[in-house]
């Protein structure tokens, strides 16, 4: 039997090319994820800087100004300091729960960004149940807070974890009913389909005008889900020292703040997607990325800019609310969720369903 060397070289080159092709595809699989995570990190740093600057302006004082130009590197400096701080563990607490709690809170919120569309082609996973996947994943975060409170072996921490769980349950139901109303109007639960359904009439087609009651309920529920003032009962300093994060130090302590700002950013993005038309422009009957080609670099950049501009408008409202309204009591918080927002969101859903049936 004679073996042709040229055939062996051809076979070898074929397998090598296939191997390189698989490596290339694997690398490009992680590139979008890396870009998204990098963008999220930059977004969180910007939000921290904005909150400090806006709060300083509201209180008529000077905000951060030394770490970088205009103090824009202050959040990065604080994170670096926490990274090198000593990581203390409670001697009689559950160390596994204590260590896993912050990680679960951060990872569950990070997974929510998978279904956030920054443009028609800029979404990691365009799923048919996108908005409900966000609700399901985000509901895992309070479990991490409850684990942190229980694992700390501290009564204040445990009360903070219980409050986080009770608050999440109370406000997730009205929030879900508002999302269900939007899904009925758009005939889809995909985040991309919801934005495209609003793009038919431009500014006039936004769900903000079609669902004003749902928008207000969603706004309040989002603030409660993010545990922002006036709904920061799980970490109320005057009552619970610092709530579920009382016993934490170092980078684990910083992870709770990262989770809080990640949740605030993803909530603002979903307000943009569900009610403010996502990446579409505010002029009637026009769609700005289409003016320059929706798949061109310029069109994609404009779409991202519009999405982020609308999201940061919601962020400004939430930051201004934090420094304007006083904290609620726990009974007031639960009464607002169960006795006020839940009936209103349920009535809004029934009205939406009735209007959809009549239109058919």
pLDDT tens for 205-216 read 788 888 999 999
Give me the pLDDT at residue 294, please: 53
Mean pLDDT of the chain: 83
Contacts of 250 (CB under 8 A, 6+ apart): 82, 83, 85, 86, 87, 88
pLDDT per residue of the chain (360 residues) written in tens, 0 to 9? 454 555 545 555 655 566 667 776 777 777 777 888 888 888 888 898 888 888 888 888 888 888 878 888 888 888 888 888 888 888 888 888 888 889 888 888 888 888 888 877 788 888 888 888 888 888 888 888 888 888 888 888 888 888 888 898 899 999 999 999 999 988 888 888 898 888 877 777 788 888 999 999 999 999 988 888 788 888 877 777 788 888 888 888 888 888 888 999 999 999 999 998 888 775 444 445 445 455 567 767 787 888 888 998 889 988 888 888 888 888 898 999 999 999 999 999 999 998 888 876
Q: What span, in angstroms and rounded, lies between the C-alpha atoms of 241 and 221?
A: 25
Give me the pLDDT at residue 284, please: 44
Cα(first)–Cα(last) distance of the chain, in Å? 76
- Residue length, the chain? 360
Closest CA to 236 of 150, 357, 330, 152: 330
Give me the pLDDT at residue 296, please: 65
Q: Yes or no: say if 98 and 152 are a contact pair by the CB < 8 Å rule.
A: yes
Closest CA to 109 of 75, 147, 136, 79: 136
Give me the pLDDT at residue 286, please: 47
Give me the pLDDT at residue 1, please: 46
């Amino acid at each position: 039997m004679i073996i042709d060397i040229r055939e062996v070289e051809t076979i070898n080159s074929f397998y090598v090319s296939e191997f390189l092709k698989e490596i290339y595809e694997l690398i490009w699989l992680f590139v979008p994820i890396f870009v998204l995570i990098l963008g999220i990190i930059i977004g969180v740093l910007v939000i921290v800087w904005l909150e400090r600057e806006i709060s300083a302006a509201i209180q008529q004082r000077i905000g951060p100004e030394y770490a970088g130009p205009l103090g824009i590197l202050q959040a990065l400096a604080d994170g670096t300091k926490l990274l090198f701080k000593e990581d203390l563990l409670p001697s009689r607490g559950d160390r596994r729960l204590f260590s896993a709690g912050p990680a679960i809170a951060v990872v569950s919120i990070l997974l929510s960004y998978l279904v956030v569309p920054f443009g028609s082609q800029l979404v990691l996973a365009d799923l048919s149940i996108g908005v409900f996947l966000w609700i399901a994943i985000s509901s895992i975060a309070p479990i991490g807070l409850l684990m942190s409170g229980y694992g700390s072996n501290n009564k204040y921490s445990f009360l903070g974890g219980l409050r986080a769980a009770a608050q999440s349950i109370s406000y997730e139901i009205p929030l879900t009913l508002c999302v269900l109303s939007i899904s009925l109007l758009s005939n889809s639960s995909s985040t991309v389909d919801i934005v495209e359904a609003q793009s038919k009439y431009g500014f006039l087609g936004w769900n903000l005008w079609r669902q004003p009651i749902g928008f207000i309920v969603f706004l309040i529920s989002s603030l409660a889900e993010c545990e922002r003032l006036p709904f920061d009962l799980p970490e109320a300093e005057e009552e619970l020292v610092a709530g579920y994060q009382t016993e934490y130090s170092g980078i684990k302590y910083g992870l709770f703040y990262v989770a809080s700002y990640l949740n605030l950013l993803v909530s603002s993005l979903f307000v943009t997607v569900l009610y403010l038309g996502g990446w579409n422009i505010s002029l009637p009957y026009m769609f700005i990325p289409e003016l320059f080609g929706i798949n061109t670099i310029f069109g994609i950049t404009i779409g991202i800019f519009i999405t982020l501009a609308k999201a940061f408008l919601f962020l400004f409202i939430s930051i201004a609310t934090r420094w304007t309204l006083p904290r609620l009591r726990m009974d007031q918080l639960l009464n607002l969720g169960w006795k006020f927002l839940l009936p209103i969101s349920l009535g809004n859903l029934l009205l939406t369903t009735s209007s959809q049936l009549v239109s058919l």
